[in-house]
Amino acid sequence: MKKSVNSHCSLNIILICVAMTILLCSPIVACAQTVLTGNPPVPETNSVRGLKDYYKNFFPIGVSVSPASLAGAESDLIRKNFSSLSAENVMKSGLIHPQENSYAWDNADRIVDFAQQNGLLIRGHTLCWHKQTPTWLFKDQEGKPVTKEVLLARLKEHIQTVVSRYKGKIYAWDVVNEAIDDNDSVFLRGSDWYKIGGEEFIADAFKWAREADPKALLFYNDYNTESPAKRAKIFKVLKRLKEAGVPVDGIGLQGHWDLTTPTEKTLRESIEKFSSLGLQVQVTELDVSVYSPAEKDPSNHQFTTEREQRQMEQYKMIFRVLREYKKEITGVTFWNVSDRSSWLDNFPVRGRKNYPLLFDQQLHPKKAFWEVVKF
């Protein structure tokens, strides 16, 4: 009898050991160990959840793309991590409407088709801007400035042709981009739109876009929206438009930020001020430069441990605030897919490599990514 009991105990011990081995290797325990040690998950691109999945109960997560982004490894990254697309350049008037009687649809169509094939939202960018705009819009056949009536007629034709083509496909448009001057003592930017068309070009652009697609959301889009002086001017314009019944649905905070700006205070103030007008708020062109505005040395382009830490903390703060305002924030779009290529590689210092996004040059999630999703 004693021998039988010992054999039974030995069998139990073996079974317990096997069970513990299975349990310790399970994903549940692995997850628990991560929480207990405080270490981030292993940054593998093939993990189940993408950035958009973490934020599905908050707001769509978008990214700006070029046609070249839609093939190869970057396209896989896009499908996995983002729920919305913006065309980085190819919908701007200089590229999509290079001549008065000629439109170049192919590249824009590719992005729209990719979005539809993959069940992604798409934002249109941009209908009226002072840059990347063809000079023919402002000139007559002799090269002289056109009249106000001619310019506004051309703007109407451009807006309604482009918006109508993508009616029902593009859910939101950046209608007017960067119409406010950076100089605190100047109100509207002295662009050809303003010099020839007067202030009403802004209201007219929104009205014509609404006529072309009554269901699309219409945004005014600008940068430095956290600067109190510029924010006040933008607010003044938007308040006037709303009071006049102009169909403005939202404000795009571009979000070209850095390691020190915005502060949590100024970001909160901007969201609260613009949403007080009943406007949707979206961050439309998000990146976080690893350089301060004062750093101009083109040889100083190392992604140091210090820069990495400060960028991680800035991204963590930004997304913590955005989550808190999930009722006001209806979308967040990153400007470019990964650190492989960013417009900041050539601005404001040409040839200086920047590292402003959540995915590195190998398309792996950076430390900042894990802070953005760790909530």
Residue 8 burial by Cβ neighbours in a 10 Å radius (0-12, 13-18, 19+):
exposed
Residue type at 354 in one-letter notation: N
Q: Long-range contact list for 47-52, CB < 8 A, 24+ apart?
A: 49/373, 50/80, 50/81, 50/82, 51/81, 51/82, 51/358, 51/369, 51/372, 51/373, 52/81, 52/82, 52/83
Q: Are 209 and 163 in contact (CB under 8 A)?
A: yes
Give the whole-angstrom CA distance, residue 68 versus residue 341. Answer: 11
Asked if 257 and 322 touch (Cβ cutoff 8 Å), the reply is: no
Integer angstrom CA distances of residue 252 from 89, 101, 137, 248 = 17, 31, 25, 11
Angle at 171 between CA 137 and CA 169, to 5 degrees: 85
Is there a catalytic annotation at residue 178?
Answer: yes
The catalytically annotated residue of 74, 226, 285, 328 is: 285
**3 state SS of 73:** helix
The answer to whether 163 and 127 have CB atoms below 8 angstroms apart is: yes
Q: Which two tokens stand for residue 255?
A: 């979000």
Contact 238, 279 (CB under 8 A): yes
| Among 329, 341, 334, 344, CA closest to 368 | 334
Among candidate residues 74, 178, 226, 371, the one labeled active-site is: 178
C-alpha 109/C-alpha 90 separation (Å) is: 10
Tokens in use for 88?
């980085």
Q: What is the dihedral of CA 33, 39, 42, 43, to 10 degrees?
A: 150
Degrees to nearest 5, angle at CA 223 with 219 and 227: 120
- By annotation, the residues acting in catalysis are 178, 285
